[in-house]
Structure 1
């Protein structure tokens, strides 16, 4: 399952997004024709060499997972290059700009906007996959002007992960609305936790993503229908205030736990709730140094609803075929195979990567995991972050402004105005 080391990818891409956009569209491709819609991909065997680049993590098991593909296509050779998360986008950007990229590359739907261009990626061929089979927001993350450039591979989102034993002791159920959130934290504290919430306090892009998510829950949009930033709305102000309430109420601390301490704090009871992804479920037994600890102590729930419901963001992994691939036919056949429901179930069994294909969640291997139910519910109600070249920079600034509101050094209204001014000065990267 995706692990927190992926934070390095997003931090890096936030700092290089603008550079990447310029480099990708301006270098190394002067003689490369812009990719246009391709012919449908047939069912004949794949042949030749397919070079695949991916970030270390979920892709570590791919060579094993695609053994049936290689057996059914004996004349194809799939070569994997796995790159450390913290270096992945930088190396991919450099290779693509130099015209030396792979045939197929992995992307992250929450941070792939700078690659969604016909000079970089080939449009997904008609009929390659059923777009309706995937979680909608994951598919939408690869769309630009109704053209799809990526196909979802695995999925994750955020939900509430909390100490069920402390909730039982306090006699409370998981919160379902914003208004119930802080009282829930207080109840867990009363049941023995030092803090009700172990909040993400890096004050970076991840905090920005969280507040964007809360703005959706409050009924806001990050972009206008015309495609310009709308970050100083009443919904954004409400989102900033809601997030700040976790800290001003004493439910969470602005400095601890640090990122690496989040799970030990949760296991020890120094915190009792996390707003996080599904990867933690496979790591808490290790943190507790006791097999079965998670099943006995942990529960999950969808995120509490704001005025417009319980909305989270979609994230995970996707695949795209590079515009200058020398073997597009076999590349798309590889992508088609790894995004089949049966392959996604095999990927889950091998690594814990949650399927991006909705029907794969009905497989017994996935369905028998009750702690995943909240994540499935949440994935059905998610949105994609703006597919704009400057979104990573905007989200990073949003995270920094979030800190000022949480610490009481700036009002939510002024923070929202500052974020809007910054975003407006950057533009969207599509002008």
Structure 2
């Protein structure tokens, strides 16, 4: 089921442009080890000096120059230069710069779509002792680890939860669904309470639909890769996931025609839809969509994702940082990355832009802990997995999304779709060396 309020809707699409063009990583894992080996020398505590160039995608990084003022004050002899690039162009421009040997010292990545960069020819290993891997949400740290080597440090985090019209749920006399079986009845109850459709969904959101189906396959007890690095997609769990996701459309609780991406919040506020499966950023945006302060507090609630036969697992996403292999100032670069990973910096980033911390302890800050609608996202972040850290994942995810649409429209069965996905993935392989 596609997310219609995705903050960085073009992140993954942009990443697809570089698939197959970089030196690519070996087979990935869905559940990496928290500990990672590193051959890099430890980074000391002496002040950073020189110039550090940073590339980032527009959005969360827009305020970062202000957020790191304490770092610049504590390191007066360092100059940090930011280049912000539109999301749609970011990975393409970064790949071109890397290939030409003209990349920045530090680059932003996205844990859900960074696999093609996790290679020693592109990124330096994270120095031992730079940060505590256990301080981050596990799946976010694992997303940067390949063959036991960590290449990125998490920055901000998000995952999915249910965001629904609490006023309509109260009117219908229903609680948030806790299991798959309760989902469609919940949506129908919200429709009886006045919503035109129970769920906001865009059936043609291919790569994002694919991510969602993968998430549901985990919930059904499946995996995407075997322990030996082979695709495992033609499985009972994948078939169940395809049927579950398609059921939102075939049951009529979601419309196969609307809403599209930009319609999501206006539809939700107006009651054309009553639920979104989306990220935490939407919580801070609905008052604006409603044109009324306090509307969200009186009309909206959140809940973790309903559980399949194997639980309520979701996927981890967000932002991360890596230092390029040919950085001319690696020492100062890693010191800046270390500063950004501190809880105080991540809290400052949240206050400036509502980017939720990747460091678990930062969620205890009153600025975040006092936001009741964020609790479901914290619960869900503690139960997440990372997508396969292989270079072909985005292509496979896109194919899963297309096959899901065919099942939802009745032009294919879930069984045939799963077989077709497996065949396609096998033809691509994993990009392993």
Pick the TM interval, shorter chain.
over 0.9
Structure 1 position 305 matched with structure 2 position 307: yes
Contact kept? 2:201, 2:260, Cα under 8 Å: no
Deviation at 1:38, TM superposition (A): 1.1
In 1, distance between residues paired with 2:161 and 2:109?
22
Quote the offset at 1:20 in angstroms.
4.5
Give the corresponding residue for 1:180.
Answer: 182
Residue equivalent to 1:193: 195
The SS at the match of 2:20 is helix
Q: Is the 8 A contact 2:54 2:105 kept in 1?
A: yes
Q: CA RMSD of the aligned region, Å?
A: 1.2
Between Structure 1 and Structure 2, how many residues are aligned? Answer: 417
Counterparts of 1:329 and 1:65, CA distance in 2 = 20
Please report how far the alpha carbon of residue 286 of structure 1 lies from its aligned counterpart in structure 2 after TM superposition.
1.1
CA distance in 2, matches of 1:20, 1:206: 23
- Report matched runs for 1:329-340 at 5 Å: 329-340=331-342
Helix, strand or coil at the partner of 2:107:
strand
- Tell me, yes or no, if structure 1 residue 325 matches structure 2 residue 330: no
1:356 is matched with which residue? 358
Q: How does 1:280-291 map to 2 (within 5 A)?
A: 280-291=282-293
**Moved >6 Å (runs of 4+):** none
Q: Equivalent residues in 2 for 1:27-426 (5 A)?
A: 37-426=39-428
Report the 3-state secondary structure (helix = DSSP H, G, I; strand = E; otherwise coil) of the residue aligned with 1:16: coil
**Larger CA deviation: 149-158 vs 197-206:** 197-206
1:185 CA displacement: 0.4
Contact map agreement 1:137 1:382 (CA 8 A) in 2:
yes
Q: Distance in 2 between matches of 1:200 and 1:313?
A: 19
- Contact 2:105–2:330 at 8 Å: present in 1 too? yes
Cα distance in 2 between the residues matched to 1:358 and 1:203? 31
Q: Which moved more, 1:182-191 or 1:196-205?
A: 196-205
Distance in 1 of aligned mates of 2:308 and 2:165: 23
Instruction: Kindly indicate whether the alpha-carbon contact (under 8 Å) linking 2:14 and 2:90 is maintained by their aligned counterparts in 1.
Output: no
User: How far apart are the structure 1 equivalents of 2:400 and 2:54?
Assistant: 34
Could you tell me which runs of 5 or more consecutive residues in structure 2 were left unpaired when the two chains were aligned. 25-37
- 1:152-174 deviation digits (Å, cap 9, x = unpaired): 00000010000000000000000
Q: 1:203, 1:402 within 8 Å by CA — same for their partners in 2?
A: no
SS at match of 1:416: helix
Q: Distance in 2 between matches of 1:201 and 1:246?
A: 10
Residue pair 1:15, 1:393 contacting (<8 A) in 2 also = no
Corresponding residue of 1:7: 9
Whole-angstrom CA distance in 1 between matches of 2:218 and 2:138: 16
TM-score, normalising length: structure 1: 0.95
Residue 5 of structure 1: CA displacement? 5.3
Distance of 2:304 and 2:6 partners within structure 1: 20
CA distance in structure 2 between the partners assigned to 1:171 and 1:159 by the alignment: 21
Deviation of 1:254 (Å): 1.2
Cα distance in 2 for residues equivalent to 1:175 and 1:96:
46
C-alpha change, 1:129 and 1:74, in structure 2 (3 Å) is same
Task: Give the C-alpha shift of residue 37 in structure 1.
Answer: 1.8
TM-score, structure 2 normalization: 0.95
Distance 1:281 1:200 in 2: 20
Q: Secondary structure at the match of 1:88?
A: helix
Could you tell me which runs of 5 or more consecutive residues in structure 1 were left unpaired when the two chains were aligned. Answer: 23-35
